[in-house]
Structure 1
Amino acid sequence: MSTSLNKSSHCAYAIHLHIIFITKYRRKVLTAEMIKQLEEYFKVSCEKQKCELLEFGAESDHCHLLVSFHPNNNIYIFVKNIKSSSSRLLRKEFKIELSKFY
């Protein structure tokens, strides 16, 4: 099995994170338009932190991310940042749709 390694100034690494976010109370609130927008939010957030979104998949009550993670980051801070920013932006843009559920 061959693995491609990313290189930094003093290291070679291949760190992949599989992250799953679920909606509050596992309610089926995500529409196709919201899912499309979430993918863009996650891509931008990952790029800001020197990471790369490799795969994204979602259904109406959860989404999966496969992220190539940079070793300079802390995992819990990275997850906290992408979760809070995506949630805030989604609630701001789709306020009417989400207010029916929450």
Structure 2
Amino acid sequence: MANTYSQVHLQFVFTPKYRAALIDPAWETELYKYITGIVQKNKHKMLAINGTEDHVHMFIGFQTTQSIASLMQDVKADSSQWINSREYCGSRFEWQIGYGVFSYSKSAVNNVIRYIQNQKEHHRKVEFLDEYMKILEEFAVDYNEAYIFEKPK
């Protein structure tokens, strides 16, 4: 759109269904590249992507021509289809319903990028769910623990 200017930095957090540890280090780099392609196809800029076996953090420069929900629908649907077409999990892979999305000022961009790049080291000390609830609290997001990502079965 002509004469529309924005600067929006968003961090997304999402997990495989039931927070299952399904993202194998053997193919996670390929997955992150594939997700980056989805983000770029939708005209956003990937600033950082990383995670562990049970979750992904994605930090992007977000273009306001698409809704957040539409982008996440594209990312989750396309990437789960990609994982399943390669039979990486031995059974059907699905992302958990829902996600977290948090906005940051330009002054925080470098810190968020570093934080995402260091996910594996970070999660040697901090459990994912504890981290996620801390983020929700830092952003003053009202939440019900019963609905924070379905528990593993």
- For the pair 1:72 / 2:72, whether they are aligned, the reply is no
Give the TM-score normalised by structure 1.
0.81
Give structure 2 stretches of 5+ with no counterpart: 94-153
**Structure 2 length-normalised TM:** 0.56
Matched to 1:33, the amino acid is A
2:28 matches 1:31: no
In the other structure, the counterpart of 1:83 is 76
Q: Would the aligned equivalents of 1:18 and 1:66 in 2 still touch at CA under 8 Å?
A: yes
The answer to whether residue 89 in structure 2 is matched with residue 98 in structure 1 is yes
Aligned residues: 93
Q: Any stretches of 5+ residues in structure 1 without a counterpart? A: 1-7
Q: Deviations over 1:59-83 (max 9, x none)?
A: 0111100011111111111110111
Greater relative CO (CA pairs within 8 A, separation 6+): 2
**Two-structure CA RMSD over aligned residues (Å):** 1.8
Alpha-carbon distance, 1:43 to partner? 1.2
Matches within 5 A, 1:20-59: 20-59=13-52
**CA distance in structure 1 between the partners assigned to 2:92 and 2:72 by the alignment:** 24
The superposition leaves residues 4-44 of structure 1 with CA deviations (integer Å, 9 ceiling, x where unpaired) of: xxxx7312211111111101111112111221011111111
2:27 alignment partner AA: M
% identity of equivalent residues: 20
> Kindly tell me: are residues 100 and 87 of structure 1, through their superposed partners in 2, closer, same or farther at Cα, counting changes over 3 Å?
closer
Amino acid at match of 2:41: K
